[in-house]
Amino acid sequence: MERFGPFDDAFLIEPKRFGDERGWFEEVWNESRFQSLVGVSPRFVQDNASRSKAAGTVRGLHFQSPPMAQAKLVRCPRGAIYDVIVDIRHGSPTFGQWAGATLTEENGRQLWVPRGFAHGFATMAPDSEIAYKVDNPYSAEHDGGIFWNDPAIGIRWPFDTDAAVTSAKDRNAPRLAELPELFRHAS
């Protein structure tokens, strides 16, 4: 486990795998181990999954606003994704900064995304799947996002962004500068 990017409360976790001639075994969630590594013990209430057909598919950058804000534990059980978070907590010393990591079925990495971060990913292989746990249920009323390729944020996506496959919702999301103050950094 390591801190993720410049953020004190986001973590990249690499669960231990035990392999033999049959394949491998991995424990993807253990509450007490997570508590000892990250310092929080979330109560997950919903598991989500998506599959994207084409490499270069972008989903995000999404978040849920308070009081339905969500923390997420993200992994890629099939294929490969480039997973990205952006700090959208006003008053944070890292406001508007981003970090990205490659999550694949081979490396087994997981990303802990705290509340107050926008999250998105791009598929790096066809038929990639993402699975994630959240600590608050989905709320359409609190669903939000920022434009995935906002030049003010400057995410360096690992593919030709002109060929990205996106939804209309994600293409028309507001820029970071247009986002109201939804999250405040706890100083």
Question: Distance between alpha carbon 187 and the CA centroid of its chain, in Å?
Answer: 23
> Of how many residues is the chain composed?
187
Give the pair of three-digit tokens for residue 106: 């081979």
The C-alpha R_g of the chain, in whole angstroms, comes to 16
One-character DSSP codes across 97-141? -EEEEEEETTT--EEEE-TTEEEEEEESSTTEEEEEEESS---GG
132 is catalytic: yes
Among the options 82, 119, 132, 142, which is catalytic?
132
138 is catalytic: no
CA distance 138 to 158: 29
Give the pair of three-digit tokens for residue 103: 């999550």
Among the options 62, 119, 142, 185, which is catalytic?
62
The catalytic residues are 62, 132
